[in-house]
Structure 1
Amino acid sequence: RSFSRSSAASMADIQDVDENDLSEKKNMDHPNLSSILDSYFVNFVKRLEANIREQIVEVYSRPKTKVAVVPEEIEQKKGESEVEYIKRLKAFIEKQHTEIQDLAIRNGTLAEDLAKTGNSLQSEQRVSGGMDRVQIETLRRDFQEASKRLEMLKKEKAKIESEAIMYQNLAAKTEGDLRSLSDAYNSLEQSNLHLENEVKALRGLGHSTFPDVEARKAEAREEALKESEGELNDLLVCL
Structure 2
Amino acid sequence: MVLIIVVAALALLAGLAANRYLRPRLLSEDDDTGMAVKDLVGPLLTLTVLLLAFVLVTANGSYGKAEVASRGEARALDQLVEAADYGPVAQREALQADAVCYARAVRVQEWPAMADGKGSAAPNVWSTDFRRVFKELEGKPVFGMVVSADNKRSDEREERLTQATASIPGAILWFLLATLIITVTALGICLPRRNNRGQILTLVVITALLTTALCIIKDVDRPFGGIINVEPTAIAEAERQATRDFLRHHTAADLPCDDEGNRRAV
Provide the TM-score with structure 2 as the length reference.
0.35
TM-score (norm 1): 0.38
Higher relative contact order (CA 8 A, sep 6+): 2
Higher helix proportion (structure 1 or 2): 1
> Which has the higher Rg, Structure 1 or Structure 2?
1
